[in-house]
Structure 1
Amino acid sequence: MFPTVSLISVSVALASVVWAQTFPATPLASKSFPWPTGVPYQADTENLVRGRQTGYNICNSTTQNQDSLCQTSFINSIDDFCIWGPKDPNSVVGDTEGEAVAWCSKPGHGGRLIPEGTLKGLQWTRTPDYVQIVGHIDQTRINMAAGDFGGEMDPHGADLRGNPIGGLVYSNGWSGNNDSYTQVIEWHNFVGNNFFCFKACDPSKTNAAAFCEHTLDRIGCAYNAPNNAQEGVFEACQGENQDFPGVYTVNGVATTYRQPPESLGAITTMPYTARVPASSNCVTYSSAEIFAALASVSPDASVTPSSSSGTASTSQPTSSAPSSRAGTSSGTAAGAIETGNGADIVVMSGIVTTLGVVFSALFLS
């Protein structure tokens, strides 16, 4: 007969092993890498459930090309930013967000250059607590499949290794010096349905994690980064802070929205409309004057043209569609998916399997 205490102890021990194999000793969002001397070759050196970091973080002129695997991104101004995108053509973000690479709007950061004609309209906003770039794009030109509703990249993820794994973000937005960069600890980047938003929260401010909330991965830019981005318009503005993502006020009462689990199906209605914060002192630019360096860059010839013939969608959908990837915790929406690794499912399935063996043994004993 099996000793009950021993079997339960074995269960706990095995569950601990699964947990240890899934989560890093130090979460990515807790790692500090001062620019430039403190940047490591790879911010993530683990070999856990999702494998190793795909690319590298030391990026310079030797890594800048259209096959670069640079996983260090920048967000500095309307003409100087990088967004995360797939490394291979015709990719579905929900399947590849852990391997995303930096696609940049100008040379100098060591990543890939966003091809000419990709950016269809942008709004850059600087607020008291964050900087944000939002825009209309032809996503097929940064290796996303046409029609992909996309995903969310952030420094957390279900296994705390980030999406992409080891992805770092820097900004000179708070230094007052174009050559002085601050590591952005809290950020999120949604991309999909020919639209994107990338927000970087000032690490010196108390509410950085709240403004750069990373758990509302199924409701997209309209709720996580409310904006006034217009197709065909390129503008840089000052702005007020938005409400914390997911927090809204009705009749003077603040309420927090809780995203339903994907198992309940697509999100077809929302209890509120996110407030778009006021903007001011907007300066308008032409695409040609701020992205002249992109003219020499062409998209991969193997990329399937967008069904919209290169014209970005003018809408920012907020409801989710069924995930194209079975067995994971991710869902799809307009630029909305948080994780593509299913790490939480791995942990739970390991525990359930272990407990199943234990209870079977107890029943048979």
Structure 2
Amino acid sequence: MQRGNPLGGLVYSTAWSGNNNSFTQVIEWHNFMGGDAFCFKACDPSRPNAASFCQHIYDRIGCAYNAPNNAQNGTFEACAGENQDFPGIYTLNGAVLTYTQPPEALGVITALPYEPRVPASSDCVPFESTELFAALATVTPSGSAAPASQTLSASGSSAAGTRGGSSGTGTGSAPNANQTADNGGNILMSGLVSLTGVMFSALFLS
């Protein structure tokens, strides 16, 4: 019944409908929060490999491994890009391998067997922060006289064309966790937060 993972964690987007008034439930997505960056990725549910592109089981290694990109600190930009490798999947000496995240009981992860491949990006369009914040919608809950607004910086690290994903959320941080922006549309999360215009694959700053 697509009630979200975690329950109630619902994402809707107009990114693939071509109509700002036509929302599609994005059942494949992930969100990672770190100490100095966060990333949000929503994947086209109609495309193959959606669950693999937005894999959400690697919650301890953060944005750098789940949504690698060419983001620069202090820069707001929207870019076209190629698809990343599936999170946790890497090639070493010609062999395709899968990383298995150790349980938290074993302590802090201090080393990984691979560095993620950063997908190429192009056609980047810079934005001033004032432009981005002005585009955020204000949501007024029913039964409340005062408007309730929420600021959201989100990321969509999937390339133009094929997109993927798996519903879920996770937390974590990793070295080089900055994220690049990507293209997108309106996103409505859990019926409370809406993001209009560019869907950012990071950040801080996609």
How far off its partner does 1:192 sit? Answer: 2.1
| Rg comparison, structure with higher value | 1
What is the letter of the counterpart of residue 91 of structure 2? T
Misfit runs of 4+, over 2 Å:
none
How far off its partner does 1:332 sit? Answer: 6.4
Q: 1:205 to 1:293 in 2, by over 3 A?
A: closer
The equivalent of 2:11 in structure 1 is 169
Q: 1:284 to 1:199 in 2, by over 3 A?
A: same
Q: 1:166 to 1:279 in 2, by over 3 A?
A: same
- Structure with the larger RCO, 1 or 2 (CA within 8 Å, 6+ apart): 2
What are the residue-to-residue correspondences of 1:320-339 with 2, within 5 Å?
333-334=172-173
User: 1:99-132 CA deviation, whole Å, 9 max, x = no partner?
Assistant: xxxxxxxxxxxxxxxxxxxxxxxxxxxxxxxxxx
In structure 2, what is the Cα distance between the partners aligned to 1:289 and 1:219?
A: 31
How far off its partner does 1:293 sit? Answer: 6.0
Q: TM-score, normalised by structure 2?
A: 0.64
User: Identity percentage over the alignment?
Assistant: 68
Q: 1:281 to 1:255 in 2, by over 3 A?
A: same
The equivalent of 2:105 in structure 1 is 263
Say yes or no: does 1:235 pair with 2:74.
no
Q: 1:222 to 1:205 in 2, by over 3 A?
A: same
Q: TM-score, normalised by structure 1?
A: 0.37
Structure 1's unaligned 5+ residue stretches are 1-30, 33-42, 44-154, 157-161, 297-330, 336-365
How far off its partner does 1:175 sit? Answer: 0.8
Check whether the contact 2:84–2:118 (CA below 8 A) recurs between aligned residues. yes
How far off its partner does 1:245 sit? Answer: 0.2
What is the aligned-residue RMSD (CA, Å)? 2.0
Q: 1:283 to 1:261 in 2, by over 3 A?
A: same
Number of equivalenced pairs = 142
What are the residue-to-residue correspondences of 1:239-254 with 2, within 5 Å?
239-254=81-96
How far off its partner does 1:263 sit? Answer: 1.4
Higher helix share: 1
In structure 1, what is the Cα distance between the partners aligned to 2:172 and 2:135?
A: 32
What is the letter of the counterpart of residue 260 of structure 1? P
In structure 1, what is the Cα distance between the partners aligned to 2:135 and 2:53?
A: 32
